[in-house]
Amino acid sequence: EKSKWPKETVQLWERLSKKEANDVETIQKSIVHHVTTTLARAAYNMDNFSAYQAVALSTRDRLISRWNETQGQLSKADPKRVYYLSLEFLLGRSMDNALLNMGLKDTYDKSVEQLGFNMEDVIESEVDAALGNGGLGRLAACYMDSLATLDYPAWGYGLRYNYGIFQQRIVDGYQTEFPDYWLNFDNPWELPRLDISIQISFGGHVQASQDEYGVTRHNWIPGSSVQAIAYDVPIPGYHTENCNNIRLWRSKPTKVFDLTSFNEGNYEKSVEDATNAEKITSVLYPNDNTMAGKELRLKQQYFWTAASLHDIVRRFKKSMREWSNFPDQVAIQLNDTHPTLAIVELQRLLVDEEMLSWDDAWEIVTKTFAFTNHTVLPEAMEKWSVPMFEYLLPRHLQIIFDINLFFLQKVETKFPNDRGLLNRMSIIEEAQPQQIRMAHLAVVGSHKVNGVAALHSNLIKTTIFKDFVDYYGEEKFINKTNGITPRRWLHQANPQLSNLITETLGGDKWLKDLSLLKGLNTKTEDAAFRKQWMQIKRANKVRLAELIKTRCDVEVSPDALFDVQVKRIHEYKRQFMNILVVIHRYRTIKSMTAAQKASVQPRVVIFGGKAAPGYYIAKLVIKLINSVAAVVNQDPAVGDLLKVVFIPDYNVSVAEVIVPASDISQHISTAGTEASGTSNMKFVLNGGLIIGTLDGANIEILEEIGEDNIFIFGCMAHEVEDLRHAQRYRGVPMDPALQGVISAIERGTFEDPKIFQPLISTLTVGKDFYLISADFASYIAANQQVDAAYKNQDEWSKKSIRCTANMGKFSSDRSVKEYAEEIWNIKPYPVVDEGHM
């Protein structure tokens, strides 16, 4: 203990733990030190990957010292913190980001180049941390960057999956899945905290008894347990000392449990139980916007929320405050319904273990939690069957029934004699078997509920949560439009454009205050600036063309219009409609004379994205894209006028190459289905125009950048129901152009048409749920407008500049500030550099 040490010992420690300077020489020493000692390699025996490992370890040392400084100072001051509970953190690569945020990129560049390596190659040796599916997981990562950058005291809590989202390879045009064993080599971006181990229980039964005051107490006697081990991932803010933490839990067998089983002479069973314990954090469920309903997923959710709450409560208890102060110290944000069990677990801890009264406990719980809804798609709504739930978490089921009982009693008081209303609002759905509606539980247990874009937040108030708005009032249901971090999505992914902006605006303040981009608006009339702007776009397109050559073996011209749709493959996102219009374009070109062809705007249509392994129709869309590409790309009658590529294994680091290189990107979901979308923001921030429907955040992007700089088409959200009704009951005929395209597929223009029959069936009149036929004509027209606009490169470059200039609103800094001020009630706590290692 420090206080018992003699003065000299304390002084020695002080002197030795002084931080070293970050000059090239010191950094090179630290890299070489890691090469020779940590990696035990010789300089002549190095490849890019080992160089990466050494540079990563040197970076990690500097990250950890910031992490220590931040966490030490926060422990002392103990301000209110926010805990962001997310089953997904889609971080991508860490090294480049960490160096940029810590302001060490230039020094490391120099150090690495002098040591004989190319920094870009070294950076590209890092594997992505792909612990997420898509937008929801990447949003969590962007929010963590902004929280740290704005000095908010925040921790993320998630799971440390051994396997992230699967790797996608294309075999014979079909998606095939391969495991993403990303931990094959040591992961330098985590700190194992093997000393932080929490026991998590499952199953068993509940014993009720009366205490000395005649109050019924519940004692949960679990049937089994596992250990949760903490792994900490440091998240450095941009140009600040603050470094936040994401704590990821890993499951392990409990020693106690093994021993009992072993002593009973049941060796095989104890080994089996051990393997089952490890299974909990083995793999990320690969479904985006759909609910799997598997028992293991529920186990993951409880394991994670229970471990996180235990940790949060332990930290709170150290401060010796009254329980009623808990919501003054702790805000917990639920990233969708996945962590909703945290509500039940906190109620259980307070009532069963801390002996608070039900009502006191419930007041603390509801003041602590807030809930973000990310989707209105019915297939994504989480429901758990009551029998399965009871088997895994018997005490939690009782608590849920009690929460529901007390809640419905209050609803009944406010709106008497409305059985229909009670049925609709109940947390329990009366089905066979009964189902727990997690979204209802999340609303009832939270003080704020938010959607992720203006349209979406309004939509949830009139659809899935309408009755709850009537009961609680409007104030509980708010909007927090999503955002993206400009550090990763412009500064890091598009360094040339970032430099040009910094030069033009006379400094890099815009990276922490994105509204300053407005200063670019005056540059649209500056021809020299426009030229530089478009040269950078072209350089980014050359880089993407190289990636396409390597990954798809297709040569594309960087002078063509690059048209991009990259996102998870889902019917509501309508990649199918995109490829159908590509076929239409192909047929049109084929029917042209040479003279007509001369005026066609050449286009490269780029697709990327993963389909959930069990999503048959989505996988067929990938197959169709590849079949069309195979025919179009080798058709001499088309040449460079049209190319189609499907880039395999789309992920964060591939997005960092694609996003800066896009001329136009597609955000074409059926109105009312895409809650927000965030890639739309990334593209526009990088001067890419978008073609899109009036859906999600597209609407707010349109408001910010103006209708001259975006291509909007298709029906509006409020028209969708009528359109579906009309095609179902009035037999509105299929769009003729669409009919022509389908006939071409059915004639076998692209492989055996039998393959695509199930896909074509989704367009049958009356069944076209995503309204591809209804939007088809306006989509073709919008695409023609894109071609025409692109021909005028001067005007296009002005649009491109205006896009970037007016995207300030979509910084995740703005989103996070709104959450902090309107939901969490937390303040920044800037850490001071005390010069410790």
| Shortest distance (Å) from residue 452 CB to ligand 73E | 4
> Which one among 58, 65, 133, 504 touches ligand 73E, defined by CB under 6 A?
133
> Which one among 374, 523, 643, 799 touches ligand 73E, defined by CB under 6 A?
374
Considering only residues 538 to 597 of the shown chain, the ones binding ligand 73E according to CB under 6 A are none
| Shortest distance (Å) from residue 468 CB to ligand 73E | 19
Nearest residue to 235 via CA among 82, 74, 97: 97
Site string for ligand 73E, 77-96 (x = CB under 6 A): --------------------
Between 292 and 734, name the residue whose CB sits nearer to ligand 73E.
292
Which of 62, 93, 299, 374 is labelled catalytic? Answer: 374
Between 261 and 575, name the residue whose CB sits nearer to ligand 73E.
575
List 606's β-bridge partners, or say none.
564, 645
Only segment of 24-32, 286-294, 359-367, 411-419 that touches ligand 73E (CB under 6 A): 286-294
| Shortest distance (Å) from residue 691 CB to ligand 73E | 17
- CA angle at 660 for the pair 658 and 661, rounded to the nearest 5°: 65
Quick one: CA torsion of 444, 445, 451, 456, rounded to 10 degrees? -20
| Shortest distance (Å) from residue 701 CB to ligand 73E | 12
DSSP single-letter state for residue 181: B
* Distances, alpha carbon 635 to alpha carbons 583, 587, 642, in Å: 13, 12, 10
Q: What is the DSSP string of 639-683?
A: GGGEEEEEESS--HHHHHHHGGG-SEEEE-PPTTS-S--SHHHHH
> Which one among 111, 242, 375, 404 touches ligand 73E, defined by CB under 6 A?
375
Only segment of 131-139, 297-305, 609-617, 786-794 that touches ligand 73E (CB under 6 A): 131-139
Residue 135 found at the interface with ligand 73E (CB under 6 A): yes
Between 696 and 808, name the residue whose CB sits nearer to ligand 73E.
696
Which of 281, 485, 678, 693 is labelled catalytic? Answer: 678
| Shortest distance (Å) from residue 294 CB to ligand 73E | 13
Which of 476, 480, 667, 682 is labelled catalytic? Answer: 682
Site string for ligand 73E, 308-347 (x = CB under 6 A): ----------------------------x-----------
* The dihedral sign for the CA sequence 130, 132, 135, 138: negative
Known catalytic membership, residue 568: yes
Between 623 and 667, name the residue whose CB sits nearer to ligand 73E.
667
**How many chain residues touch ligand 73E (CB under 6 A)?**
19
| Shortest distance (Å) from residue 372 CB to ligand 73E | 7
| Shortest distance (Å) from residue 228 CB to ligand 73E | 22
Considering only residues 463 to 492 of the shown chain, the ones binding ligand 73E according to CB under 6 A are 482
- Cβ–Cβ < 8 Å for 144, 244: yes
Residue 674 found at the interface with ligand 73E (CB under 6 A): yes
Region of residue 743 (phi > 0: left; psi between -120 and 50: alpha; otherwise: beta): alpha
Known catalytic membership, residue 603: no
- Cβ–Cβ < 8 Å for 400, 427: yes
Is 401 exposed, middle or buried (CB count within 10 Å of its CB: 0-12, 13-18, 19+)? middle
> Which one among 123, 139, 342, 411 touches ligand 73E, defined by CB under 6 A?
139
Which of 138, 437, 570, 573 is labelled catalytic? Answer: 573
- Cβ–Cβ < 8 Å for 660, 686: yes
Residue 277 found at the interface with ligand 73E (CB under 6 A): no
> Which one among 56, 284, 452, 612 touches ligand 73E, defined by CB under 6 A?
452
Residue 678 found at the interface with ligand 73E (CB under 6 A): yes
Length of the chain: 837
Q: State the CB neighbour count (10 A cutoff) for residue 607.
A: 26
Residue 675 found at the interface with ligand 73E (CB under 6 A): yes
Residue 287 found at the interface with ligand 73E (CB under 6 A): yes
Only segment of 40-48, 597-605, 607-615, 673-681 that touches ligand 73E (CB under 6 A): 673-681
Q: Tokens standing for 346? A: 């906190």
List 175's β-bridge partners, or say none.
170
Considering only residues 701 to 760 of the shown chain, the ones binding ligand 73E according to CB under 6 A are none
Only segment of 40-48, 316-324, 363-371, 672-680 that touches ligand 73E (CB under 6 A): 672-680
Q: State the CB neighbour count (10 A cutoff) for residue 137.
A: 24
| Shortest distance (Å) from residue 298 CB to ligand 73E | 14
| Shortest distance (Å) from residue 292 CB to ligand 73E | 9
How far is 21 from 8, CA to CA, in rounded Å? 25
Considering only residues 205 to 264 of the shown chain, the ones binding ligand 73E according to CB under 6 A are none
Only segment of 219-227, 254-262, 287-295, 460-468 that touches ligand 73E (CB under 6 A): 287-295
Inter-axis angle of helices 720-729 and 772-791, to 10 degrees? Answer: 130
Nearest residue to 609 via CA among 545, 667, 660: 667
Which of 476, 568, 667, 802 is labelled catalytic? Answer: 568
| Shortest distance (Å) from residue 133 CB to ligand 73E | 5
Inter-axis angle of helices 527-552 and 793-805, to 10 degrees? Answer: 90
Only segment of 349-357, 388-396, 598-606, 671-679 that touches ligand 73E (CB under 6 A): 671-679
Residue 700 found at the interface with ligand 73E (CB under 6 A): no
Inter-axis angle of helices 616-633 and 575-590, to 10 degrees? Answer: 20
Known catalytic membership, residue 809: no
Considering only residues 178 to 197 of the shown chain, the ones binding ligand 73E according to CB under 6 A are none
Between 90 and 689, name the residue whose CB sits nearer to ligand 73E.
90
| Shortest distance (Å) from residue 249 CB to ligand 73E | 18
Nearest residue to 218 via CA among 387, 57, 398: 398
Between 82 and 90, name the residue whose CB sits nearer to ligand 73E.
90
How far is 133 from 127, CA to CA, in rounded Å? 16
- Residue 772's contacts (CB-CB under 8 Å, 6 or more residues apart) are 574, 576, 577, 580, 738, 763
Q: What is the DSSP string of 334-396?
A: EESSTTTHHHHHHHHIIIIIS---HHHHHHHHHHHEEEE-----GGG--EEEHHHHHHH-HHH
Between 540 and 815, name the residue whose CB sits nearer to ligand 73E.
815
Residue 300 found at the interface with ligand 73E (CB under 6 A): no
Residue 457 found at the interface with ligand 73E (CB under 6 A): no
Nearest residue to 571 via CA among 511, 501, 621: 621
* Distances, alpha carbon 632 to alpha carbons 311, 637, 750, in Å: 57, 9, 9
- Cβ–Cβ < 8 Å for 113, 119: yes
Known catalytic membership, residue 424: no
- Cβ–Cβ < 8 Å for 88, 137: yes
Known catalytic membership, residue 573: yes
Which of 567, 610, 623, 798 is labelled catalytic? Answer: 567
> Which one among 240, 289, 698, 800 touches ligand 73E, defined by CB under 6 A?
289
Is 572 exposed, middle or buried (CB count within 10 Å of its CB: 0-12, 13-18, 19+)? middle
How far is 508 from 499, CA to CA, in rounded Å? 9
Nearest residue to 626 via CA among 611, 615, 639, 641: 611
| Shortest distance (Å) from residue 669 CB to ligand 73E | 8
| Shortest distance (Å) from residue 428 CB to ligand 73E | 21
How far is 115 from 383, CA to CA, in rounded Å? 56
Residue 696 found at the interface with ligand 73E (CB under 6 A): yes
How far is 537 from 689, CA to CA, in rounded Å? 12
Where does this chain bind ligand 73E (CB under 6 A)?
A: 133, 135-136, 139, 287-289, 336, 374-375, 380, 452, 482, 674-678, 696
Please identify every residue annotated as catalytic. 374, 567-568, 573, 678, 682
